[in-house]
Structure formats: C-alpha cells, structure tokens
Amino acid sequence: MLNKSLIHQAAGVIHESRNIVVFTGAGISTESGIPDFRSPGGVWSQYNQDDLTYQKFMSHEKYRKLYWAYDQARYPAMRDANPNAAHEAVVEIEKSGRLLALITQNIDGLHQKCGSSVEKIYELHGTVMEVTCLECKARWPRKEIVEKMERENLEVPYCEYCGGPLKCATIAFGQALPEEVLMDSFNHAAACDLFLIIGSSLVVQPAATLPLQAKRAGARLILVNLSDTPYDSLIDIIVKGKATQAMRSIMTEFRKLSGLSS
C-alpha cells in the first residue's frame, strides 16, 4: 500500500518546483506489458549475448543476421504496447510548464506515443522505433525497414544510399552512448530543481550518476520505484510502489494543490 504522507510530500515538491527533470527506467515500461527480455525464458536468454555486441555486428554478416533475428523477436511487444498512467503523469508535468527535460533509459518510444514533446526527450539507449545506417548515419522509421525486409525476404538490411549495414537505433553492448544526448542529460541534471526518478533501480552506468549530478547542484530527488537503489540514502522522498499507481496518486494530489481539482 502506498504511503499517503509520502504521496502528499512528493506532490508538494512537484508543485513547488519550476525546472523538473524526469528520469525513467524499465519499471515504467513493464506496466505497459513490455516483458523483461533479459529474464529467464525471455528473448535474450535464447541467444549468446557475446554474439550480439556492436563489435561482432560490424565484423561479419553472420552476426548481423543473429542481431536482426533477436531484434525482430523483441520488436513487436514494444511496437504494440500502449502508454500507461505513469507516462501520462509525465505529460501532465510538461503541460504544467515545469518540465525541463525527460531523460529515459527505455527504447520503446512510449513517451512519444503518449504525447511528450520530442524536443524534451533524451533517449540514452536509443530507440527501437528507428533504424540507422552505421556508415552514413541516415535514419528511417522502423516500420519502413521492417516492411522492406518482409517484402524482399531480407535477413539483414543495408543502406540504399551508401550500402552500409543498417541497425536498430538502439545502443548495443560495446557501443558508445550518444555523446551529445549524454552531455545534454548531465547539463539538464545540473540545472534542475527537482530530479524525479520513475521506475529505475539506478544500477546502469553512466546514467545512474545523473541523480548525483542533480543533488550536487542543489536539486531535490524523488524516487518512485518498487525496489531499493544504491542511492536511496541521498534521495529526499522515496515512494515504494508501482509506477502507475504511485504517479496516478501523486498527480491527483498535485492537481489539488494546483487548484485543478477538488
């Protein structure tokens, strides 16, 4: 059961804040029915992870075939998923004029699908909804490439402009995070007055250090998550619970404080 006092406190801090960074992890996506692909029996367990690294992908056609087989297996669940109440809460914070940035570790595109502004979103691990050429950096909607692969019976797609290998626009093991996205995320963390973490256990680096950046700069930290994190001792308000239930309750209180509901 959610702690009503902490819900009220979290809503109050959101109401008082003017430059909020929202940081989301897998916990917000699983509640939209997207499975944990790395859990036992999941798609990831059906492959040797050493065969799916960026270096292997670039080295040989056989690894590109393996990668695309894996990626096509995980794609439909994300393509068909719908946003939930936690995604809607982030949109509501943006509409209140308080959102500085939305930083996400998720690759499913649900924030965009829910209506968050594209210019506010920083996808640290890329997106499954686009495909990119690793040579000339051209990009396409995923749907367009998937349809081409099905139409032409392709196991691996290649760039129509330069012939380079096409890859889902996510970050594979061994592949560097997008430098500009990472730098902008740290800059926003340093500029916010509230860093709101939803559905992340803060264990994946370097993204997990973003709350530390915000804390050092004087921001308050709120965590909404089911499990403990390595940084719990630094967080001002911790709401233990599912992202949807907790954020729905927090935003109900926020609307009361904002005079938007009785």
What would the pLDDT profile of 102-131 be if each residue is shown by its tens digit?
Answer: 999 999 999 999 999 999 999 999 999 999
Query: What H or E segment, with its residue span, contains residue 129?
Result: strand 126-133
Q: What's the order of all strands across the beta sheet hosting 237-240?
A: 121-123, 99-104, 20-24, 194-198, 220-225, 237-240
pLDDT at position 16, please? 97
Which residue has better confidence, 142 or 36?
142
pLDDT exceeds cutoff 70 at 37: no
Domain that holds residue 23: 1-34+83-125+177-262
166 and 226: one domain? no
pLDDT at position 205, please? 87
So which residues are the catalytic ones?
125
Cis ω before 76 (30° cut-off from 0) = no
Report how many domains make up the chain.
2
pLDDT at position 42, please? 57
115 and 214: one domain? yes
Dihedral angle over CA of 239, 243, 244, 247, nearest 10: 50
CA 66 to CA 173: how far, in whole Å? 14
Q: What is the DSSP letter of 134?
A: T
pLDDT exceeds cutoff 70 at 59: yes
> What SS3 string covers 94-109?
HHCCCEEEEEECCCCC
120 and 247: one domain? yes
Per-chain mean pLDDT for the chain: 93
Average pLDDT over residues 139-149: 96
Tens of pLDDT, residues 156-208: 999 999 999 999 999 998 999 999 999 999 999 999 999 999 999 998 888 89
Query: What H or E segment, with its residue span, contains residue 152?
Result: helix 142-152
Going by pLDDT thresholds of 50, 70 and 90, the confidence category of residue 257 is very high
42 and 166: one domain? yes
Of 170, 189, 224, which one is at a domain's C-terminal end?
170
Predicted TM-score (pTM) above 0.85: yes
